[in-house]
Chain A
Amino acid sequence: MSGGRLRRIVASARRLARQCRDVVARTSRIARWEVSRSAGTVDRKTVLALVVMALAIGTAGVSVSDSGLGLEREMYVAGVDEESRYYDVAVESEQFRAVPLDDIEADGGGDSTAETATIRGDANVDVVVTRDGRVGHVGDNGAAAYDAFRSAVEDYNAELMDDEADQAAAYPVLVSLEYQERDPDGSTDSGADDGNDAGSGDGTGGSTDGDGSATGGGGSSGTGDGDGRMQVPNVGDGGTSTSAGTPGSIAPPFPFESLVLAFLFVVPMNFVIQAYGSTIMDERVKRRGELLLVSPASRYEIVGGKTLPYLLGLVGIVAAITYAIEGGPIAVAATLPIALVFLAATFAGAMLARSFKELTFVTVTISVVLTTYTFIPAIFTDVNPIALISPLTLVVMDLQDESVRLGEYLFSTAPFYLSAVVLFLLGIGVYREEDMFAQKPIPTKVIDAIASRIHSRWSVPLLSVLFIPFVFAGQLLAVALLFAVPETVAVPVIIIIAAAIEEVAKSIHVYAGFARSRFDATLKTGVVLGVLSGAGFFVGEKITHIVQFVGLPELTVGAAAFGPAPSVSSEPVLYLAVLLAPLVLHVLTAVCSAIGASSGRNGYAIGFLVATLVHAGYNLGVLALVA
């Protein structure tokens, strides 16, 4: 009996293996076609043109790297006489163009040593150096020009000083910068001791510094701690120090170089998605994709095969860049989800676009949004752990030789992996004849794509969870875009937008299910689906909170931004209320919009509006309660 079962298991395993092999074979065949066809369309004259352009850019680029882009060249005008000591400053500085005072003065010269040199009305000048050596400014942009002139003087002085023989006199100040953790314990219990020891501190410090730094952490030996730090700067508690240099050479912690290098990883993606978008769109022109659709390969295999060469190409490029700039495997592992999201978003965009023009703008939008979304947080790598919302931060950390923990990797890449999967699945949902070759309006196609993912009632909460990464991304973008608007306008707008985004994520698939007749349009179904959707969203939200607390315990900002911490109260009833209030809210609003959705498009609009208002009201209430 057990032998029979074993045989059955072996047989089914074999069947599974064969199916897997078939899938791999079909996918890789499509991938090979994709490569050979793309390579085939590149003709010789295009290659020649590209080579010529690359050469021209290369030669020009080399000359640029010497002289700079010259964007600021002579943007301001300085009125200064040749005799003035500031004349050389204006000539040497790239930003300034020097004109003689005679050209700009109203009465054409004489002794304009007066407080206000009279400037001719039509003279173009921003900064004026009077004959007695005072610097003034004219016009709207005069103040900014004056500021630039000041920096130009400093640069000029630095050059002057570099030529001096006596460098010690030219650079009379040396600075070494040390970053040190504060140690309040060590000082509170040692106030008196320090005073007593101060006299001998210099002499004995050298011998006690070892003990000092070893015991200082516990705060038991205040004097040792103090002495140790004073004599030996580098043995401080994990403090880092720079070697001594001039004041101009010290710089705040800012990973500039690593950031520029990290940007290199994103650049090739923008080019690859153009080609990838074209190849997907090509399938939809003149019904070319029909040939593949009628083949034995499934939609997943077709899309997988067409995507694989581009994904592998991107990974290859990223690996090559990593090798060239001496990054570690973490850099490749962190860039992979970014590449996947780029491709997935382009795929979904190419399935929805109606024309090449639209596709271009969709891909440009994807490029711009994703590049900023990944790049901007990475700037704050050293400043704030919230920077980890972008995988590019991991690249910057890797390039700075910081170690990346598994929790951090998961925290910053999981939303990207998830988004890529969702976007691919939605795109594959419309990878079928009736959507690919028809000129349907885009909203219809979106509804089609979502509806194709709904198989039963249990798909509803699952989709609610899967939409959560998009909700977070959308809310973050809204905050970033509205930062310039005055606060009195921005705060209510953000509250409403945040509520609306969450309500869309909880209701759009319910509406799609009703609109494509996946569910019976009854009140009861609406209530059930609403409860499922709201509960699913709540569970997803809580999962992200748990991930945050486990993966990034130091990230208090995240807790403040994404909801109140559940441990605010010791009272069990209140604790439960704080925990469950969001659940009630999500279910309630989801039911609102689900009931609306069951009665058609207008009903959905009304239900959605009510849900958004209720949600925004709740958020306002919470804000008022906390404040």
Chain B
Amino acid sequence: MSRDRGRERESIQRGPNPPVRPDGGTESRSTWGARWAVARRELASLRSEKTIILALSIQLFIAAFSSFLVVGLVSLYDPGSVDGYQTEIAVTGDDTDTLLRVANGQDGVTAERYADRERAYDAFDDGSVSAVLDADRNPDGQLSVRAIVPEEGLRTTLLVVQIRNTLENVERVERQRNADDGRLERSPVPVPESIQASPYVGFTYTILLPLLCFLPVFISGSIVVDSLIEERQRGTLELLRVAPLSLAEIVDAKLVATAALAPLQAIAWFLLLAVNGTAIAAPVALVVLVAALSLLVVTVGVAVALWAPDRRQAQLLYSMATVGALVVATVLPEHPANTVAKFALGNPTAATWGLLAAYCLVAMGAFLALRRGIGGLEPDAL
């Protein structure tokens, strides 16, 4: 306890000492030093409150839980991903040839023909088969199948998925036969053989990776909103202005310090993903993208914090603006998340590169506009 207090005092001492301009130093070097002090103070407060650790663990938590969810759901819907799962199905009815052939050709399913319906249902009741497929041909020539499955929760889910896959294959075979008989105007395109492929690739690149790129950006913006509003409400911004810095320079320092956090976190996530076997094709482009978005969002955050009257409204405006921007971004030729996925997969198009350049330009433009706006701002009005 006393150790904590001591550390806090120490960090206060290291804080924003308004540096006296060194006699020999030139004007520009001393403002750079002062800016560096402001930026360092900003980062130090993040460190001493352990906010940054909380921020990282939140992101890790979200990533872990969304992966947990996806792995769970995929294994629920893709019985093939559960090893050694074997289902026995009883097939009965008038027209079972195709059904039997297809079902026995499928992994994880064993189908047995029961000539007698009663026996098939008995086998279902005493548990020696998992499901009964009762197939008849109707007058239209369609194969009408009644599938009986037990009410057993999780196992039923797997079973129903297996039955669906089997029947879809049957449908494909029957359809092809109809096409060969000339009953269809256009023949269906043959479906390629199925292979073993990781079902998580789509999720990793289109959801998880964009999430890990955008969360740090969102968090950086949120930090800067809080930091500025707090200085305004507690009145410490006035103290800061004793420093040999203009308001624009103080804001600058805070802005750059927090905006730089996002690409650093993104790099950390990329490394973590690479260790876990998810290769990222164009990491440099992605880091540039995150940096540009971070600069843009943090600039918006600063503007909101200087403009809104108190924290509640600032946070509301900021979160509405960022969430809204993600929705509005769908009118772009590519959603930013899609841009991330394309860079990570290594399939960028001209539009992808163009958008990256556009984000950089917009971010720089917003930053310059904000500087100009702050230059015209009356500091005492805050």
Contact = CB atoms under 8 A, between A and B. Distances in A.
Given A194-B119, A357-B223, A384-B154, A172 B174 contact: yes
A113 B132 CA distance: 45
Interface stretch (B237-245, B265-273, B315-323, B362-370): B315-323
Contacts of A175: 145-147, 167
Contacts, number: 356
B316 A480 contact: no
Contacts of B202: 72, 75, 144, 148
B191 A75 contact: no
Interface in B59-78: 61-62, 64-65, 67-69, 72-73, 76-77
A54 B328 CA distance: 11
B51 interface: yes
Interface in A141-163: 141, 143-144, 146-150, 153-154, 156-157, 160-161, 163
B313 A191 contact: no
Given A195-B118, A250-B147, A376-B65, A357 B227 contact: yes
Contacts of A177: 147, 149, 160, 163
A601 B5 CA distance: 16
| Of listed B62, B147, B334, residue having the most chain A CB within 10 A | B147
Nearest to A158: B188
B58 A364 contact: yes
B347 A64 contact: no
A441 B3 CA distance: 10
B324 A53 contact: yes
A157 B189 contact: yes
Contact of B189 (A41, A76, A89, A282): A89
Interface string B98-126: 00000000000000000011110110111
Interface string A167-197: 0111111111111111110111011001101
Interface magnitude class on chain B: 35 or more
A86 B191 CA distance: 10
Contacts of B174: 172-173
Contact of B175 (A161, A163, A187, A188): A161
Given A357-B45, A357-B223, A484 B168 contact: no
A56 B167 CA distance: 45
A274 interface: yes
B317 A174 contact: no
B300 to A, nearest CB: 12
A361 B144 contact: no
Contact of A97 (B125, B160, B324, B349): B349
A140 B347 CA distance: 13
B186 A250 contact: no
Contact of A165 (B185, B328, B341): B185
Contacts of A239: 151
B230 A356 contact: yes
A42 interface: yes
A77 B341 CA distance: 13
Interface string B152-168: 01101110110110011
B163 A250 contact: yes
Nearest to A86: B189
A61 B171 contact: no
Given A46-B317, A141-B201, A187 B328 contact: no
A180 B151 contact: yes
Given A41-B310, A46-B317, A198-B117, A172 B143 contact: yes
Interface string B26-62: 0000000000000000000110010100110010011
A251 B202 CA distance: 22
B58 A41 contact: no
A384 B184 CA distance: 45
Contact of B327 (A61, A73, A141): A61
Interface in A61-79: 61, 63-64, 67, 69-77
B171 A246 contact: yes
Contacts of B76: 252, 254
Contacts of A197: 118
Interface stretch (A19-27, A225-233, A414-422, A544-552): A225-233
Contact of A140 (B230, B279, B327): B279
A172 B49 CA distance: 66
A304 interface: no
Interface core residue of B118, B153, B308, B324 (most chain A CB under 10 Å): B118
A286 B147 contact: no
Interface stretch (B13-21, B205-213, B289-297, B371-379): B205-213
Contact of B184 (A85, A148, A166, A484): A166
A50 B317 contact: yes
Contacts of A274: 312, 315-316, 319
Given A71-B341, A75-B341, A176-B145, A279 B312 contact: yes
Interface in A401-456: 439, 441, 443-444
Contacts of A149: 192
A45 B331 CA distance: 26
Given A172-B171, A173-B143, A182-B124, A73 B1 contact: no
B164 A250 contact: yes
A334 to B, nearest CB: 22
A82 interface: no
Contacts of A50: 316-317, 320
B191 A275 contact: no
Contacts of B153: 382-384
Interface string A242-276: 00101110111110000000000000000100110
Interface in B190-207: 190-192, 194-199, 201-202, 205-207
Contacts of B309: 41, 43, 46
Contacts of A384: 153-154
A361 B192 contact: no
A493 to B, nearest CB: 15
A164 B184 contact: yes
A254 to B, nearest CB: 7
A164 B145 contact: no
A184 B150 CA distance: 12
B332 to A, nearest CB: 9
A126 interface: yes
Given A278-B311, A368-B62, A144 B197 contact: yes
A49 interface: yes
A354 interface: yes
Nearest to A57: B324
Contact of B313 (A46, A154, A355): A46
Nearest to B227: A357
B4 interface: yes
A212 interface: no
Given A168-B142, A384-B154, A157 B191 contact: yes
Given A46-B308, A278-B312, A173 B279 contact: no
B69 A356 contact: no
A320 interface: no
Interface in B221-265: 222-223, 226-227, 229-230, 233-235
Contact of B49 (A61, A357, A481): A357
B345 A141 contact: yes
A484 B316 contact: no
A365 B168 contact: no
Given A166-B184, A247-B171, A481-B61, 11 more contacts: A143-B195, A146-B192, A147-B194, A153-B190, A163-B186, A172-B141, A179-B150, A254-B157, A279-B312, A359-B226, A376-B65
21 contacts: A46-B309, A57-B328, A70-B338, A71-B210, A75-B202, A141-B205, A150-B192, A154-B191, A168-B141, A169-B175, A170-B184, A173-B143, A182-B150, A190-B122, A195-B119, A247-B168, A278-B315, A286-B235, A358-B49, A368-B62, A384-B154
- The 8 tightest CB contacts between A and B, nearest first, are A144-B201, A247-B167, A172-B174, A143-B197, A169-B183, A187-B125, A168-B140, A356-B226
